[in-house]
């Protein structure tokens, strides 16, 4: 809602702005009354006490046992000797007076019969109205109109308290005002005295009856409503005059009562039943609202809740005063009231400033709106879909921030563990046995860290994919309307995101989650190779009919684009290699190589291959969100360090020349912190052409980028790489130390002829000559366990390809074996494993694996040519015309654990899909836990040996 603009006083305007979108919890106050004379005479005991301003305590816990809490905390509690003025001022005053700023307010009194509701509400109403009149007197620049109405709900019938007529009034649903009482008298107040008169009329009219518990028990719910309209005198009658209009409700509910205690019968009993029933509905509504606004809220089950709907969960600020009797005999009712109060604490309302326009202003406003809609019809403007995407993108950013927090937390824990190990190592000095024990411990930690790392990486990659896709959507298609299918002459993009489609919940990777069966289903009924066009989702499934030029998609082929990117290596590359389209030379930077690989790929696709990359259409590089990992030779550091640099043209916001599309005004982009902290993952580029010797140039390039401080990962922010760096370093040092001590150890072992388990086995692996048989045995076991534990195919692939039998790999195999054995044991015991802060069950692992398979099947569309795919279908016995061929193929990967050739081929296919090629060493480092210093020989021995052609 707007403000009243020029016509309002600055102070007023400020109030409106501050409250214009106020979303807040209901203010819940508790008032304990003193024991009444009757109670004192009847030897009643006060069991309840306010121990401070916010807590009320039940003192007689012995009687109650321990089943109920004894202390209850609220926004404010008031002891028995508190005056109503104090209750008003410290309690609902602020909420009630919002009404003068155009904000609806409601003040309720809720509690059992005779607990002091009427006593409290009478005072609150009077003080509020006095303050309102005071406000009016102090704001002569505004003209105020006050209207008053009063009704009661007696035995579920509505009566006008300002009329002598006893007829029951009807409730009507007004599209603008909500539920209204038909024909209720509304008096325009002349002054304070006039209101007092009306209040006394109400008092006389209201149904009061005597019960055992209260001489003057209110037998109805009373709602007094004061409506305040105000306009600036200066603008009165003018075209642009607007009016603030809001109501404040004073609700004095009838009290819940037990027939046995109230000793009611006949009419009183009937009244009591109605009262209890409507209070029950109110309680149910409050309880449901307290759990969030999901599902059906039964407002319509009683007239009371229908009328109070805005106050309970809508456009109003609300305060509830729960009144309590302290007496022991009412403990049960008091507890019920407190339970109601506890639920009410959780309910949120969303108050807005209510501005009413003059007829002229309204006409003018409508004319403007009409003109805007007409112009939108002529040229569709960025609309709902953009907003949808923007909202989703923000959600993703929040998710990223949450993950960032998790990583921070994990890092803290890691640091703690690390420092404990360091302390321990210092404490035990040179004692070999103890050092070995500590090393074993470190190894255990490393295996856990490895696990956590992989989970975090997976999650991060997924979210970045999603996030990047959304960003590309927003940048590229600001004019796109709605969701789902969208066609035009140049492109046909069919995708569906956000994930609501066909009545079933969609997962981000193109599966449907069937809520009933709890299973994920691939979109069906479509030819596999075409299914992406209609059913697939971001990030992999979007299909663009690529007959358009790259320019039309916002991509500038011009190499000049690259210079905009603040990567120094590009300049070097130009100097070394002026022909940007020539094949990659050894001297060419990896960054440049990858960019050009992208360009070549894109050009090829533009020339015939109609499968285009989802990110190509927005000025991003391929896989713009992917991260490039370089090995940086830290000369000052003894350890290998992973650094990240941004992909070229990673985002339009990072130094590229993509012209603004207007959307920037609507969404300023992702927070800088997020963009910088999570650079793109780069499992990309046709890196089969990159040789190991290229590493050096990439090392230099990345180092240069880092030195210039252009676009590197934020040092302060823990990344997954940093996450393991500390442990890695520690483990390395320990290993070096042990290598030094190793000869002594060997001699000792020979002497004692005793074989320790654990670390000795590890050291054997490190120090004895390579044992191919043992390696193969371990590898076979690991493959079986991967299968049994539904381990990620990408993980299997990395592991399989990175660790090929080098003696130093055996540490890894040990760690993986332990991890998997633990996992399998956990699954078979039907226990829950904790992995990366997530609970892991056999069922969840199956689901995750399925999701990954779907993701890989989507990647097949982009990473393999049609010809390559067909060759694979034939080789793997999949009918060329069968449905969901890609998924069929992916489902067969890693299936035959006994057949080494099958495993190798599966790994090669997955590697191709995830573009493993240039990551060999980097990923090995990400597995994180190299115990050895880097050496050229090791790099060679562990490097990626598949060539592009050998993959398929
Ligand atoms: N805080 C208080 N201090 C002193 N007396 C109080 C207080 N609260 C209530 N009383 C007295 O207790 C009696 C019952 O109060 P009241 O009628 O307001 O209760 P009620 O909750 O409205 O009951 P019902 O639901 O039956 O209408 C009255 O005599 C009132 O004066």
- DSSP calls for 345-407: HT-EEEEEB-EEE-HHHHHHHHHHHHHHHHHHHHSPPS-HHHHHHHHHHHHHHHHHHHHHHHH
- For residue 848, tell me if it sits in a domain: no
> Which of 292, 327, 357 is the endpoint of a domain?
357
**pLDDT class of 263 with cuts at 50, 70, 90:** low
CA of 235 to the centre of ligand 1 (A): 47
Distance 214 CA to ligand 1 centre (A): 8
- Say if residue 577's pLDDT is above 70: no
Share of the chain above pLDDT 90, in %: 20
Query: What's the angle, vertex CA 494, arms to CA 493 and CA 499, rounded to 5?
Result: 130
Pairing of strands 55-58, 71-73: antiparallel
Distance CA(436)–CA(734), nearest Å, equals: 10
The residue whose CA is least distant from atom 15 of ligand 1 is 116
Q: What's the mean pLDDT in 652-673?
A: 31
The tens digit of pLDDT for each residue in 158-201 reads: 999 999 888 899 999 887 778 889 889 999 998 889 999 999 99
pLDDT band at 243 (very low <50, low <70, confident <90, very high): confident
Mean pLDDT of all residues in 2-8: 31
What does the pLDDT read at residue 468? 62
Residue nearest to atom 2 of ligand 1 (CA): 33
Asked if the structure places residue 260 within a domain, the reply is yes
DSSP string, 4-46: -GGGS-HHHHHHHHHHTEEEEEPEEEEEEPPPPHHHHHTT--B
Instruction: Assess if residue 84 is contained within a domain.
Output: yes
Sequential DSSP letters for 774-823:
HHHHHHHHHHHHHHHHT--HHHHHHHHHH-SS-GGGHHHHHHHHHHHHHH
Q: Which range has highest mean pLDDT (43-57, 165-179, 546-560, 791-805)?
A: 43-57
Taking the C-alpha atoms of residue 724 and residue 836, their distance in angstroms, rounded to an integer, is 14
Whole-Å CA distances, 783 to 451, 569, 795, 896, 909? 17, 41, 11, 10, 16
pLDDT, residue 454, reads: 61
| Nearest atom within ligand 1 for CA of residue 121 | 18
pLDDT at 133: 93
Number of domains present in the structure of the chain: 2
> Which of 318-327, 495-504, 505-514, 651-660 has the highest average model confidence (pLDDT)?
318-327
pLDDT band (50, 70, 90) for residue 795 = confident
DSSP state of 712: B
pLDDT at 385: 54
**How does residue 740 score in pLDDT terms, banded at 50, 70 and 90?**
low
Residues 634-651: what's their mean pLDDT?
A: 28
Taking CA atoms, 582 is separated from 564, 597, 688, in Å, by: 21, 11, 17
- Distance of CA 581 from the midpoint of ligand 1 (Å): 90
Q: What's the CA-to-centroid distance between 348 and ligand 1, angstroms?
A: 29
- Residue 447: HSE in the Cβ half-sphere, 13 Å Cα cutoff: 18
Q: How far is the CA of 119 from the centre of ligand 1 (A)?
A: 5
Q: Is 399 annotated as a binding residue?
A: no
Give the CATH number of the domain where residue 252 resides: 3.40.850.10
Flag whether pLDDT at 633 surpasses 70.
no
Give residues (CB < 6 A) around ligand 1: 33-34, 36, 111, 113-119, 214, 216-218, 254-255, 323
Q: Whose CA is nearest to atom 8 of ligand 1?
A: 116
Cα–Cα distances (Å) from 203 to 186, 197, 223, 226, 909, in that order, read 17, 10, 12, 16, 83
Average pLDDT over residues 505-523: 30
Residues 695 and 640: beta-carbon distance below 8 Å: no
For residue 820, is pLDDT > 50?
Answer: yes
pLDDT at 367 over 50: yes
Q: What is the pLDDT at residue 542?
A: 29
Q: Scanning the structure block, which residue is given the tokens 């105020």?
A: 144
Q: Is residue 772 part of a domain?
A: no
Q: What percentage of the chain has pLDDT greater than the value 70?
A: 51
Query: Would residue 642 count as lying in a domain?
Result: yes
**Which pLDDT does position 71 carry in this prediction?**
87
The pLDDT score that the predictor gives to residue 297 is: 85
pLDDT at 326 over 90: yes
Residue-averaged pLDDT of the chain: 64
**Residue 834 belongs to what H/E stretch?**
strand 833-835
pLDDT for residue 249 is more than 90: yes
Residue 478 within any structural domain of the chain: no
Asked if residue 760 has a cis previous peptide bond (ω within 30° of 0), the answer is no
Least confident range from 18-27, 761-770, 870-879: namely: 761-770
Q: Note the pLDDT of residue 667.
A: 28
Q: Ligand 1 centroid to 109 CA: how many Å?
A: 11
pLDDT of residue 214: 74
* Residue predicted with more confidence, 20 or 301: 301
Work out the average pLDDT over 548-565: 32
Q: What domain range includes position 114?
A: 5-357
Mutational pocket test of ligand 1: of 46, 214, 261, 279, the residue with most ligand atoms within 8 Å of the beta carbon? 214
Ranked by mean pLDDT, the top range of 263-267, 409-413, 505-509, 526-530 is: 409-413
**Amino acid 379: pLDDT:** 65
The pLDDT tens digits of the residues spanning 401-411 come to 777 777 667 76
Q: What is the CB neighbour count within 10 angstroms for residue 774?
A: 15
462 vs 459: CA distance, rounded Å: 5
660 occurs within a structural domain: yes
Choose one of 30, 35, 119 to mutate for the ligand 1 pocket test, by most ligand atoms within 8 angstroms of C-beta.
119
- Least trusted range by pLDDT, from 39-53, 214-228, 633-647, 776-790: 633-647
Instruction: Tell whether 114 is in a known binding site.
Output: yes
SS3 content of the chain, % helix, strand, coil (to 5): 50, 15, 35
Atom of ligand 1 nearest to the CA of 213: 26
Q: With a threshold of 0.95, tell me whether the complex ipTM lies above it.
A: yes
Check residue 505 and give its pLDDT.
29
In a domain, 284, yes or no: yes
Task: Please check the confidence at residue 809 and state whether its pLDDT lies above 90.
Answer: no
Indicate the range of 277-291, 545-559, 714-728 predicted with least confidence.
545-559
Q: Quick count: other Cβ atoms within 10 Å of Cβ 405?
A: 10
Q: Taking 80 as the threshold, does the pLDDT of residue 242 lie above it?
A: no
| Helix/strand/coil for 412 | helix
pLDDT band at 21 (very low <50, low <70, confident <90, very high): low
The CA 148 to ligand 1 mean position distance, Å, reads 25
H runs (alpha helix) in 654-808: 672-677, 694-708, 720-752, 759-767, 772-789, 793-802
Question: Which of the four pLDDT bands, split at 50, 70 and 90, describes residue 129?
Answer: very high
- In the predicted structure, residue 400 carries a pLDDT above the cut 60: yes
Instruction: Tell me the per-residue pLDDT of 79-97, one tens digit each, with 9 for 90 and over.
Output: 999 999 999 999 999 999 9
- For 335, other C-beta atoms within 10 Å of its C-beta total 17
Instruction: Quote the tokens at residue 422.
Output: 């360091």
Residue 265 is predicted with a pLDDT of 61
Q: How far is the CA of 182 from the centre of ligand 1 (A)?
A: 32
118 annotated ligand binder: yes
- Report the C-alpha dihedral over residues 329, 334, 339, 342, rounded to 10 degrees: -150
Whether residue 551 is annotated as binding a ligand: the answer is: no
Question: Which one is predicted more confidently, 592 or 389?
Answer: 389
Among 310, 329, 357, the domain-final residue is 357
Confidence at residue 477, expressed as pLDDT on a 0 to 100 scale? 58
Is 113 part of any known ligand binding site? yes
What are the tens digits of pLDDT across the range 35-69?
988 888 888 889 899 999 999 998 876 555 556 67
Q: Is the predicted pLDDT of residue 26 greater than 60, yes or no?
A: yes
Reported confidence tier of residue 334, pLDDT bands at 50, 70, 90? very high
217 CA distance to ligand 1 middle (Å): 9
Give the nearest ligand 1 atom to 211 CA: 26
Which range is least confidently modeled, 132-136, 498-502, 840-844?
A: 498-502
Poorest-confidence range of 103-112, 692-701, 876-885, 911-920? 692-701
Nearest atom in ligand 1 to 254's CA: 25
Select from 687, 716, 745 the last residue of a domain.
716
Looking at residue 12, what is its pLDDT?
A: 36
Average pLDDT over residues 618-622: 30
Residue whose CB lies within 8 A of the most ligand 1 atoms, among 48, 111, 114, for a mutation test:
114
User: Which atom of ligand 1 is least distant from the CA of 219?
Assistant: 27
Q: Which ligand 1 atom is nearest residue 82's CA?
A: 1
Rounded mean pLDDT, 734-754: 49
pLDDT at residue 211, rounded to an integer? 74
């Amino acid at each position: 809602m707007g403000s009243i603009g020029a016509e309002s006083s600055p102070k007023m305007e400020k109030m409106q702005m501050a409250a214009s979108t106020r979303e807040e919890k209901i203010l819940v106050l508790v008032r304990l009354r003193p024991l009444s004379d009757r109670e004192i005479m009847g030897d009643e005991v006060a069991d309840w006490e306010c121990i401070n301003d916010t807590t009320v305590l039940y003192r007689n816990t012995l009687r109650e046992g321990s089943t109920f809490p004894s202390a209850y905390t609220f926004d404010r509690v008031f002891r028995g000797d508190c005056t109503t003025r104090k209750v008003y001022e410290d309690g609902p005053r602020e909420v009630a007076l919002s009404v003068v700023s155009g904000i609806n307010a409601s003040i309720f009194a809720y509690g059992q019969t005779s607990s002091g509701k009427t006593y409290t509400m009478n005072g609150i109403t009077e003080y509020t109205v006095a303050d309102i009149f005071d406000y009016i007197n102090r704001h002569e620049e505004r003209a105020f109109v006050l209207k008053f109405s009063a009704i009661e709900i007696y035995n579920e019938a509505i009566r006008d308290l300002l009329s002598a007529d006893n007829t029951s009034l009807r409730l009507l649903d007004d599209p603008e005002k909500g539920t209204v009482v038909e024909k209720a008298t509304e008096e325009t107040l002349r002054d304070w005295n006039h209101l007092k008169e009306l209040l006394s009329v109400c008092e006389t009219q209201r149904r009061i009856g005597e019960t055992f518990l209260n001489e003057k028990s209110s037998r109805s719910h009373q709602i007094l409503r004061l409506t305040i309209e105000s306009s600036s005198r200066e603008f009165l009658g003018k075209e642009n005059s607007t009016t603030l209009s809001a109501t404040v409700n004073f609700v004095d509910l009838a009290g819940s009562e037990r027939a046995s205690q109230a000793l009611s019968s006949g009419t009183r009993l009937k009244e009591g039943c109605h009262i209890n029933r409507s209070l029950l509905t109110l309680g149910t509504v409050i309880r449901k609202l307290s759990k969030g606004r999901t599902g059906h809220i039964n407002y319509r089950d009683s007239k009371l809740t229908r009328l109070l709907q805005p106050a309970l969960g809508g456009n109003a600020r609300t305060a509830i005063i729960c009144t309590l009797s302290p007496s022991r005999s009412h403990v049960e009712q008091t507890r019920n009231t407190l339970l109601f109060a506890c639920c009410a604490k959780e309910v949120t309302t969303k108050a807005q400033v209510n501005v009413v326009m003059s007829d002229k202003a309204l006409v003018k406003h409508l004319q403007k709106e009409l003109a805007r809609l007409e112009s939108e019809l002529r040229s569709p403007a960025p609309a709902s879909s953009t907003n949808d995407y923007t909202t989703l993108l923000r959600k993703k950013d929040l998710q990223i921030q949450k993950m960032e927090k998790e990583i921070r937390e994990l890092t803290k824990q890691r640091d703690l563990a690390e420092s404990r190990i360091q302390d321990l190592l210092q404490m035990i000095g040179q004692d070999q046995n103890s050092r070995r024990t500590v090393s074993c411990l470190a190894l255990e930690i490393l295996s856990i860290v490895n696990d956590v790392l992989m989970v975090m990486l997976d999650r991060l990659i997924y979210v970045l994919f999603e996030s990047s896709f959304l960003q590309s959507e927003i940048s590229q298609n600001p004019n796109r309307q709605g969701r789902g299918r969208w066609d035009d002459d140049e492109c046909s993009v069919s995708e569906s995101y956000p994930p609501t489609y066909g009545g079933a919940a969609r997962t981000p990777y193109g599966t449907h989650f069937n809520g009933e069966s709890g299973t994920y289903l691939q979109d069906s009924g479509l030819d596999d190779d075409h299914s992406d066009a209609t059913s697939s989702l971001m990030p992999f499934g979007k299909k663009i009919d690529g007959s358009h030029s790259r320019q039309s998609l916002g991509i500038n082929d011009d190499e000049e684009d690259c210079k905009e990117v603040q990567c120094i290596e590009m300049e070097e590359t130009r100097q070394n290699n002026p022909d940007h389209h020539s094949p990659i030379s050894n001297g060419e930077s990896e960054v440049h190589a990858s960019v050009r690989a992208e360009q070549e790929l894109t050009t090829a696709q533009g020339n015939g291959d109609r499968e285009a990359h989802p990110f190509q259409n927005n000025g991003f590089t391929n896989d713009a969100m992917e991260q490039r990992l370089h090995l940086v030779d830290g000369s000052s550091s003894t350890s290998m360090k992973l650094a990240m640099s941004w992909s070229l043209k990673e985002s339009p916001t990072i130094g590229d020349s993509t012209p603004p599309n207007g959307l920037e005004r609507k969404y300023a982009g992702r927070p800088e912190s997020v963009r910088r902290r999570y650079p793109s993952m780069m499992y990309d580029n046709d890196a089969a052409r990159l040789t190991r010797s290229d590493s050096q140039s990439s090392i230099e390039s990345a180092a240069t980028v880092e030195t210039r401080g252009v676009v590197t990962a934020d040092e302060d922010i823990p990344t997954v790489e940093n996450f393991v760096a500390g442990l890695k370093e520690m483990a390395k040092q320990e290993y070096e130390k042990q290598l030094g001590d190793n000869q002594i150890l060997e001699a000792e072992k020979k002497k004692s002829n005793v074989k320790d388990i654990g670390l000795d086995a590890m050291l054997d692996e490190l120090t004895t000559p390579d044992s191919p048989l043992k390696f193969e045995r371990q590898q076979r076991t690991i493959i079986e366990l991967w299968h049994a534990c539904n381990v990620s195919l990408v993980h299997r692939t990395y592991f399989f390809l990175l660790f090929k039998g080098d003696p130093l790999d055996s540490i890894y195999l040990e760690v993986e074996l332990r991890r998997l054995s633990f996992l399998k044991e956990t699954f078979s015991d039907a226990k829950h494993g904790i992995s990366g802060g997530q609970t892991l069950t056999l069922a969840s692992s199956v689901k995750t694996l399925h999701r990954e398979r779907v993701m890989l099947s989507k990647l097949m569309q982009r990473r393999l040519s049609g010809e390559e795919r067909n060759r694979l279908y034939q080789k793997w016995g999949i009918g060329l015309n069968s449905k969901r061929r890609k998924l069929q193929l992916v489902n067969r990967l890693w299936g035959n654990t006994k057949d080494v050739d099958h495993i190798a081929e599966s790994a090669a296919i997955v590697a191709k899909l995830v573009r493993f090629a240039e990551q060999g060493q980097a990923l090995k480092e990400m597995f994180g836990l190299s115990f050895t210093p880097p050496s050229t020989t090791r790099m060679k021995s562990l490097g990626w040996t598949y060539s592009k052609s050998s993959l398929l």
